[in-house]
Amino acid sequence: MSMTSESDQLAYIASQAADARVNVEVETDEGMTLNLGPQHPATHGTLRIIAKLDGEKVVAAEPIMGYMHRGYEKLTEVRTYPQVTTLVNRIDWLGSFANEVPFILAAEQLMEVEAPPRAQWIRTILFELSRIANVCLFLGDMAVQIGATTPVFYAFRDREFVLNQIERVTGGRFHPNFDRIGGLKDDLPKGWIEETRGALNRMTDFCDEMEELVLGNEIFQARTRGIGTIPSDVALAYGLSGANLRASGIDWDIRRDANVGLVYDQVDWKVWTHPDGDSFARFWVRLQETREACNIIDQLLGTIPSGPIMAKVPRIIKVPPGEAYVATENPLGEMGFYVVSKGDLTPFRVKIRSASFSNMSIAPWVLKDVFVPDIISILASLYFILGDIDR
Amino acid sequence: MSEIPEHLLKRAQAAREKAESSQEPTDNASPTKETNSQTTVAVADESPIQEIDEKAEEILERISKGLGQKLISSHIAPNRGLWIRVSSDDWRETAQFLRDQLDCRFFDWLSVIDWMPSPYGRELETEQDVDSQAERIEDQPIEWGYTGGKTRFQLITRVYSISLGIGVMVKADLDDHNPRALSLIPVYPGANWHEREAREMFGVTFDEHPDLRNIYLPGDFEGHPLRKDYPLLSRRIKPWPGIVDVEAMPGEEK
């Protein structure tokens, strides 16, 4: 291993030493360094935060990632288009189906194929179901980070109903790999629509339950109100998206404003925003969005058109040369695929724009000058999945 | 959905026929009425006539007025996006212009495209890689995508204007041997991590970036993995993923 400079060597030794001691506090003359992670329950995976403290106050905090980097952008270059969906499934593993959709839509754009209406409807329903499955975990997890242990059990209990419905259609609870270029793998099973309505009722009840249990709680309010405030300008410049952006008062939702290939324009629904931009606002917006997702699915279930679920596509998929960028409003925020094709079986280059990467890039800014316990609640409210940061 | 009534089956059949007929390049771009759902669904416009994206044209006009000579080329894919290409010297100025004049305050992403064809190549028909020990296949000419290009590496970023509802993809050619550009951090602080990623994956230097350390890879990692001439080692020792090693069953001929 060649070290180009002395500072590189020092950085390397320091990183090795830091890896050896996990969650150790180091005190020097300049203050204290607190190492959170890589194995910390607040990080949904292996994110490490090095925080320099002055007393209880954070002077500088820096997230260190890469513990889960799998190199998907390189791997896509040696896989055919249908094989890529298996990979991108694993980016945000809590809402897997939602990962497949933007990639498939980008490939469809280049091939100038459009999925039949029925497939678009089912795609949208599954997309929203994965949003519920994903955000549901956040609602429970956010509370548990603050010290309330009950909500997370409720979340895991009720999430099962949604996962069961996803499993009944796709055969997979976590990695459906169900979306195809030109449509879907299969049609809905018999009796699924009625059962899904039942699951949606459970989820609406769950949202009410969480609202009563968490939102009005005095401790929860004290730990989240006015903590980790992100003004709208900063949020935009850092590329925050999804509920994090809407919690800063920006009324922008890709589902409504830049919708591609999904049928949100057929539904009567509302985009929720909150003007405060603090941890509480982010929780509140996500809670409302879960309820709204139930509303969207409920309307779509009643209007699924009949017809085929696959458009005519060649058996061997070769995508014509061109470039396409398609983004969708995933549970974590904007997820987009920039696909460059040269007319081969495999993409020439795929740039994955994942929501959590941009959402986390604001961490050094927002964690400055907060108190140590607030690191946990702010990180929890920003809500990231490590697979979505590291790709 | 317990029992499918006959009239629904008939309707499904009709919809299937319609979907099949719309595959042919006719000029029926009219939306299909789905009586079942009382909603209108647009069918893919297969007509060969080029559509015109008025919004993108208008934005492009504003950009070319603002940037003048700095705008090298542009491309509009109707209803899909707007691409512009500038010189890497004007990289930051362009971003500044887009943010201030076009209200593109949302920083989406930044990355690099290596346009060199992979020197390791692949025989697509047999779905096998060219033998890694063999000579590299000879240099193929580089083909660029939208907006064209001149050099191997192209910087690409996307910024979005929420008020105008349009995203702009900006490309810039980088020098082959010393790829570098000015950092966008003063304009968009969010470019920080994206530039760190582009640096470690492609070896592009961003001047005036305060902290160009690796973001994913270990500090002592050598090479830039997303460059086309960086071999993917697992692919050199394993054949095409998806090919199953089928062992002959007992009693079966090999």
Question: pLDDT per position in chain A (391 positions), as tens?
Answer: 455 677 777 777 666 665 555 455 566 666 788 877 776 665 666 778 888 888 888 888 888 888 888 888 888 888 888 888 888 888 888 888 899 999 999 999 888 888 899 999 999 999 999 999 999 888 888 888 888 888 888 888 888 999 999 999 988 888 888 888 888 888 888 889 999 999 999 999 999 988 888 888 888 888 888 888 999 889 988 989 889 999 998 888 888 888 888 888 888 888 999 998 898 999 999 999 999 999 999 999 988 888 888 888 887 788 888 899 999 999 988 999 999 988 878 888 899 998 989 888 898 999 888 888 888 888 888 888 888 888 8
Helix ranges restricted to H, chain A: 6-20, 72-75, 81-88, 96-111, 117-146, 150-170, 192-210, 218-224, 232-237, 243-246, 254-257, 279-302, 355-361, 363-366, 372-382, 386-390
In this prediction, residue A196 carries a pLDDT of 92
The Cα A128–Cα A295 span in angstroms is 10
Nearest Cα residue in chain B from A106: B80
Give the list of residues 6+ apart from residue A214 with CB closer than 8 angstroms, or none: A139, A142, A143, A148, A151, A220, A283
Sorted by where each begins, the domain ranges of chain A are 6-64, 72-390
The Cα A98–Cα A92 span in angstroms is 8
Which residues in chain A (173-192) have CB-CB distances under 8 A to chain B?
188, 190-192
Tokens for B92?
Answer: 């930051």
In this prediction, residue B38 carries a pLDDT of 39
What CATH number does domain B54-237 carry, 3.30.160.270, 3.30.460.80, 3.40.50.2000, 2.40.50.150? 3.30.460.80
Asked if the Cβ–Cβ distance from B37 to A324 is below 8 Å, we say no
Select the more confidently predicted residue: A19 or B25.
A19
Interface test with chain B among A325, A350, A366, by most B beta carbons within 10 Å:
A325
* CB distance A162 to A136 below 8 Å: yes
Q: What is the pLDDT of residues B201-247, one digit of tens each?
A: 898 989 888 888 888 888 778 888 888 878 777 666 665 555 555 56
Using CA of residue A129, residue A134, residue A138, residue A141, what is the dihedral sign?
positive
B114 contact residues in A (CB cutoff 8 A): 349
In this prediction, residue B46 carries a pLDDT of 46
Interface test with chain A among B220, B230, B244, by most A beta carbons within 10 Å:
B220
The Cα B238–Cα B233 span in angstroms is 9
**Is residue A160 helix, strand or coil?**
helix
Asked if the Cβ–Cβ distance from B165 to A258 is below 8 Å, we say yes
Sorted by where each begins, the domain ranges of chain B are 6-41, 54-237
Nearest Cα residue in chain B from A3: B220
Beta-bridge partner residues of A33: A26, A52
Amino acid at A264: Y
DSSP per residue over A317-348, as a string? --PPSEEEEEEEEETTEEEEEEEEE-SSSS-S
Nearest Cβ partner for A340 among B37, B145, B194: B145
Nearest Cβ partner for B1 among A74, A190, A358: A190
A313 contact residues in B (CB cutoff 8 A): none
Confirm or reject contact between A70 and chain B (CB < 8 A): no
Asked if the Cβ–Cβ distance from A78 to B241 is below 8 Å, we say yes
Query: Which one, of A106, A114, A56, A60, lies nearest residue A81 by Cα?
Result: A106
Asked if the Cβ–Cβ distance from B165 to A357 is below 8 Å, we say no
B149 contact residues in A (CB cutoff 8 A): none
Nearest Cβ partner for B216 among A12, A66, A193: A66
In this prediction, residue B47 carries a pLDDT of 46
Asked if the Cβ–Cβ distance from B219 to A109 is below 8 Å, we say no
Interface test with chain B among A256, A306, A342, A346, by most B beta carbons within 10 Å:
A306
Q: What is the pLDDT of residues B70-121, one digit of tens each?
A: 888 888 888 788 899 888 888 888 998 988 888 888 988 999 998 887 776 5
In this prediction, residue B132 carries a pLDDT of 47
Residue A126 has φ and ψ, to the nearest 5°, of -65, -35
CA distance A213 to chain B (A): 35
The Cα B111–Cα B197 span in angstroms is 8
Interface test with chain A among B2, B80, B98, by most A beta carbons within 10 Å:
B80
The Cα A236–Cα B190 span in angstroms is 9
In this prediction, residue B29 carries a pLDDT of 41
Nearest Cβ partner for B216 among A69, A77, A257: A69
Asked if the Cβ–Cβ distance from B15 to A236 is below 8 Å, we say no
Nearest Cβ partner for B165 among A257, A307, A362: A257
The Cα B21–Cα A269 span in angstroms is 34
The Cα A71–Cα A79 span in angstroms is 13
Q: Report the Cα–Cα distance between both ends of chain B, in Å, rounded.
A: 49
Tokens for A313?
Answer: 């596509």
Nearest Cβ partner for A114 among B44, B111, B240: B44
Structure confidence at residue B157 as a pLDDT band (50, 70, 90) = very high
Pairing mode, strands B180-182 and B205-207: parallel
In this prediction, residue B7 carries a pLDDT of 55
The Cα A323–Cα A318 span in angstroms is 14
Select the more confidently predicted residue: B32 or A289.
A289
**Is residue B33 helix, strand or coil?**
strand
Nearest Cβ partner for B105 among A73, A236, A266: A236
Q: Does domain A72-390 have CATH number 1.20.1250.20?
A: no
Asked if the Cβ–Cβ distance from B241 to A194 is below 8 Å, we say no
A305 contact residues in B (CB cutoff 8 A): 15, 34, 36-37, 39, 41
